[in-house]
Structure 1
């Protein structure tokens, strides 16, 4: 849709971004639906993934939401979703929005029971805040109920990353 209305094209690389809180990753909307992108960012040290998104209906939103929850679980990281709400009737492809921003966690003992650290009301312009403890991620990776990153089966596949071209 964005390709048609705004001439947006996909990139050819993804990298973690160094911040004063450590490396982070950014997956824009549809990017969250591809497990290998999040895994690459986590392999580069990201413990927090940001997913800004723009969806115009509940079905589109739920695809981003459920995939982002999967990324939090399989990569043992936090994922913050931030979506557009409201209507911009004079802007092509922005006339209707649907969002419920949230902060997702792995599903294990030190985290929120349902894997949701914080959640906004649907279609309400607001700020969503949660205190996230990065040491909980380290605990989960070392001693958690499941250790998805440790238990990867590299003998079943090969990953080759290239930058461009």
Structure 2
């Protein structure tokens, strides 16, 4: 693996729109991937549940069970589309998340991560929210391993996952220094839970976190009344980083993309000589996060 000292990342704050034909959605995804590649980004991230708008073209609002069945039919087309875009534009894509039924019937919320060579890795949300459980019957996945990329291991935490410090610490212990958090929250309260927790993860693990949220509203999709977000690219809170620990952030509730350059050597310096050295100063003889493969 080649050591990369600078990594350019892009976060897409994707808007919900009426989608009469699936191709309209796929074309919009392609537009942002192309734009991120044109800006020289190495990674681009989309929001959680961004595929739910594919249901808006139905004549009647689907029940949750019928909605999952319909969404499941898009799993392979989405996977193939992301792989083709990643390979064609030489960029790594964190494909938000997609609710789908697995073989055997279990329902999962999955992030498809397409790497530049066209390979696709899937990471399941480990901690579905009470709403996801009760309405969509989504269950949690059982693996939180980092994804190996040419820029080093990356971690993917889908929305609520970011609110569990053990998950980020376990991924950090496996080498991840760059995290992607696709999220979907309906209120400012929910958005701030994700934002505050992601800020905490950057301090605890001396890492970078990219958040990508869904915004707006769309009719005819059950349990998707509205979406509130202010996506951001977050840094540790120390000398050598952005003053407020925010490399860049989007305008709240507006469809847009933000881009930032992340200096990986700054993480090395912070871990070795920072004002605080959270990773070094842990007390594993008193407490630890254990990894279960």
* More displaced stretch, 56-65 vs 10-19: 10-19
Return the offset for 1:65. 0.5
**Within 5 A, what are the aligned runs for 1:1-165?**
1-163=131-293
Q: TM-score if structure 2 supplies the norm length? A: 0.54
Per-residue CA shift, 1:78-128, capped at 9, x if unaligned? 000001011122111222000000000001111001100000011011001
Q: Kindly report the root-mean-square deviation, in angstroms, between the aligned alpha carbons of the 2 structures.
A: 1.0
- For 1:158 and 1:44, the matched residues in 2 are separated by 14
Per-residue CA shift, 1:131-161, capped at 9, x if unaligned? 1111110110011111000000111124332
- Paired residues in the alignment total 163
SS in 1 for 2:257: coil
Residue matched to 2:82:
none
For structure 1, which runs of at least 5 residues remain unmatched after alignment? none
CA contact (8 A) 1:141 1:149 kept: yes
For structure 2, which runs of at least 5 residues remain unmatched after alignment? 1-130
- For 2:185 and 2:241, the matched residues in 1 are separated by 27
Q: TM-score if structure 1 supplies the norm length? A: 0.95
Per-residue CA shift, 1:3-37, capped at 9, x if unaligned? 22322111122111011211100000000000000
